[in-house]
């Protein structure tokens, strides 16, 4: 019976010049070329839609006698299999607000067989599609054949998840199990393991408390209504809205997928708070100010020193930009996110994703740490005071958990003031318990720190002139605020609201939101790039995680008012998954990485534009190939200039146990100048030149 059903289901296959008859015997003879549609369905679809195609009431719509199936062509059904489907859909008069995960990991032959099987079963109208037709659809829709990637450009949505979902240092053992009525049973060991997986892979998008951030809320009222089978499918296959395919992508085992599906139906556990007591207990002045050098004791050109994050080793490499030699490898917090330099250029502040700040004194004979503190369990940002009269006096750091920022003494890191960021969102005016602190910059116009509060969409102008009587101006921008940088005048702070697909412009002098600019999907500027456009005058550039756009925004309201705070040009780069754009006042090149693009060839190279001839497109430079490192992902990330602007440095970020390197390119000739290849350079990522960081040069 199974054989006859299959034969009836796929009687015709597209052949050269038309259709040819496929008999049951032919199917049996051709074997793997024509996989069993029933088997493909049972293996990949039945968990949600059930073996009999009747679906699950309230969760997954039926495929049996489905008016939705009947109203679609086989190609349209195959498109849904390849791309997934999210949102409301009406099937046989019933509305489902469910999710059809993308099944792009299946082969073209498997998808053809499954679609043809579904069309010919359970009272459906019949019809077929061939593997060649599915292959053509896959190409048209730009859907990857790599089971670990899923959808590729223009839907590089997994790039953001990869970026946001970097490993957390919050431990599952720090969490007490919360027993939730209606949720599946779990042992304490299972709960601790699931908590750790969630903090490592999920909290970056969904938030520690699962209230939703970049990703959707995952609270028990929502997850229990979906049930274990639905959650397993979602975790295993991902979603077209950007949920990674953790199962088919190889990130989680089948047992771990099951574990997380059960865990998500429980009340989210709260990690411990981290207040003044905990900070002071972690605070350590290694070398007191009075015992530090009174002058520079080394011969390095400190303005041209680079602080290079060695992500997976929990270290920072200090590299001499003149000689390309490593000065010192310094133990720091885990996965340092950024380095910032004091106004004087003497001190480097690093902050790791574990919330640990390290203060490095460049005046020492061998530059090294002089103070440390842990300001939270997870963090991303640190900055120092720059306004006249406050240079080097204060530092500020923002945490992801707990959601707060702390102001510290600039010379010792002694914590002075902690401020929570919990509050109301800018749009819905709902209370949010976990608004994480993203980018922080120091104003050049006032004694203020400009603090991005991610989930609320608020920008805080924190007046640090009187710590005991802290004054804050709250600006309403857009969600979810992330990274950003100054325009060339250093008056306007341009920052990405990446979930709103906007750039917010903050006038730091007049202390107001100057503009909210619509840009492409998921902007990610890093600090952006400033240059003078041949036609539009001064502009600031951002690239994006979600598409191939490099968006140029006019930034000169005085001499170019018609172009100010408008998108004046959109360049097309290599693809989505870009983290950084970069240029320099002395350069006529604009560099764009594509670190998180799923195409290895793209992620291992960079695009460079001629600023004076932007319309001619970009040149691709094979940075990873130049590094000559052998095996590994070899993602190329973050162009950074030296002080003079005649060299641009790239990190070739390989696996932890594989060789990584830094590639130095001559900015004028675009030729390889130097490969800094040292076994101590473990997973290099961000690079921060002292001169450029102090002066906000980008």
Positions annotated as catalytic residues are 202, 205-206, 243, 482, 524
**What sign has the CA pseudo-torsion 10, 14, 19, 20?**
negative
Neighbours of 19 (CB within 10 A): 12
Which segments within 10-145 are labelled E, that is strand? Answer: 12-15, 18-21, 85-91, 94-100
Q: What's the CA gap between 468 and 470, in Å, rounded?
A: 6
Q: How many CA atoms lie within 13 A of 75 on its CB side?
A: 9
Give all strands of the β-sheet with 502-507 in edge-to-edge order: 481-486, 492-497, 502-507, 512-518
Beta bridge partner(s), residue 652:
636, 661
Contact between residue 73 and residue 127 where contact means Cβ atoms under 8 Å apart: yes
Helix (H) / strand (E) containing 23: none
Q: Which residue has the tokens 């250029």?
A: 345
Residue 137, token pair as written in the block: 């659809």
Buried-exposed string 282-320: b where 16+ CB fall within 10 A, e elsewhere: bbebebeeeeeeeeeeeebebbbbbbbbbbbbbbbbbbb
Taking a C-beta distance cutoff of 8 angstroms, is the pair 194, 281 a contact?
no
Rounded to whole angstroms, what are the CA distances from 113 to 34, 106, 117, 138, 566? 7, 11, 6, 15, 49
Q: Specify the 3-state DSSP secondary structure of 44.
A: helix
CA distance 38 to 440: 55
Rounded CA-CA distance 61/92 in Å is 9
C-alpha 272: how far from its chain's center?
A: 25
């Amino acid at each position: 019976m199974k054989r006859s059903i299959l034969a009836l289901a796929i009687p015709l296959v597209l052949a050269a010049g038309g259709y040819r008859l496929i008999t049951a015997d032919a199917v049996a003879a051709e074997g793997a070329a024509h996989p069993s549609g029933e088997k493909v369905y049972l293996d990949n679809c039945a968990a949600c839609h059930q073996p009999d195609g009747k679906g699950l009431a309230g969760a997954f719509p039926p495929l049996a006698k489905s008016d939705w199936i009947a109203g679609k062509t086989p190609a349209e059904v195959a498109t849904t299999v390849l791309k997934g489907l999210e949102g409301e859909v009406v099937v046989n008069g019933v509305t489902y607000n469910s999710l059809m995960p993308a099944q792009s990991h299946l082969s073209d032959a498997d998808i053809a067989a499954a679609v043809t099987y579904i069309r010919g079963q359970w009272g459906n109208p019949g019809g077929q599609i061939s593997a060649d037709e599915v292959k053509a659809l896959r190409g048209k829709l730009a859907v990857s054949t790599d089971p670990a990637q899923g959808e590729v450009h223009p839907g590089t949505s997994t790039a953001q998840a990869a970026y946001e979902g970097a490993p957390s240092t919050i431990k599952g053992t720090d969490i007490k199990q919360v027993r939730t009525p209606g949720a599946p049973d779990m042992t304490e060991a299972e709960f601790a393991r699931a908590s750790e997986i969630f903090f490592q892979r999920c909290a970056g998008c969904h938030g520690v408390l699962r209230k939703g951030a970049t990703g959707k809320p995952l609270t028990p009222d929502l997850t229990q209504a979906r049930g274990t089978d639905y959650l397993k499918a979602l975790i295993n296959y991902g979603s077209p809205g950007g949920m990674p395919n953790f199962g088919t992508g190889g990130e989680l085992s089948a047992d771990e997928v099951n574990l997380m599906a059960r865990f998500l139906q429980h009340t989210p556990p709260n990690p411990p708070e981290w207040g003044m007591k905990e900070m002071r207990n972690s605070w350590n002045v290694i070398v007191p100010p009075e015992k530090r050098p009174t002058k520079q004791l080394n011969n390095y050109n400190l303005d041209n020193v680079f602080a290079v994050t060695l992500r997976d080793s929990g270290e920072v490499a200090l590299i001499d930009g003149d000689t390309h030699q490593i000065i010192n490898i310094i133990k720091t917090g885990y996965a340092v996110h950024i380095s910032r330099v004091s106004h004087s250029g003497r001190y480097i502040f690093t902050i790791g994703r574990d919330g640990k700040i390290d203060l490095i004194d460049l005046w020492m004979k061998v530059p090294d740490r002089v103070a440390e503190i842990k300001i939270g369990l997870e963090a991303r940002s640190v900055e120092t005071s720059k306004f006249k009269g406050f240079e080097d006096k204060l530092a500020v750091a923002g945490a992801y958990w707990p959601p707060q920022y702390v102001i510290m003494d600039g010379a010792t890191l002694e914590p002075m003031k902690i401020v929570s960021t919990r509050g109301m969102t800018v749009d819905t005016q709902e209370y949010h318990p976990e608004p994480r602190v993203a980018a922080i910059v120091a104003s050049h116009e006032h004694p203020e720190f400009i603090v991005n509060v991610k989930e609320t969409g608020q920008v805080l102008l924190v007046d640090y002139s009187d710590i005991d009587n802290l004054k804050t101006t709250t600006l309403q921008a857009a969600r979810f605020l992330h990274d950003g940088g100054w325009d060339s005048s250093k008056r306007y702070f341009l920052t990405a609201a990446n979930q709103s697909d906007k750039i917010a412009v903050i006038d730091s002098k007049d202390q107001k939101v100057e503009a909210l600019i619509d840009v492409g999907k998921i902007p990610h500027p890093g600090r952006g790039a400033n240059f003078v456009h041949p036609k539009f005058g001064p502009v600031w550039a951002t690239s994006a995680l979600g598409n191939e756009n490099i968006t140029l925004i006019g930034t000169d309201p005085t001499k170019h008012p018609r172009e100010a705070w408008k998108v004046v040009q959109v360049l097309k780069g290599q693809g989505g998954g870009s983290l950084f754009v970069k240029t320099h006042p002395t350069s006529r090149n604009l560099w764009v990485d594509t670190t998180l693009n799923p195409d290895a060839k793209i992620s291992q190279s960079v695009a460079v534009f001629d600023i004076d001839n932007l319309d001619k497109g970009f040149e691709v430079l094979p940075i990873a190939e130049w590094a000559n490192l052998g095996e590994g992902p070899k993602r190329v990330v973050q162009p950074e200039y030296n002080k003079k602007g005649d060299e641009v440095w790239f990190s070739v970020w390989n696996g932890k146990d594989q060789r990584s390197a830094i590639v130095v390119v001559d900015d004028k000739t675009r030729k390889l100048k130097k490969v800094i290849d040292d076994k101590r350079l473990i997973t290099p990522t961000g690079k921060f030149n002292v001169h450029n960081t102090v002066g906000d040069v980008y």
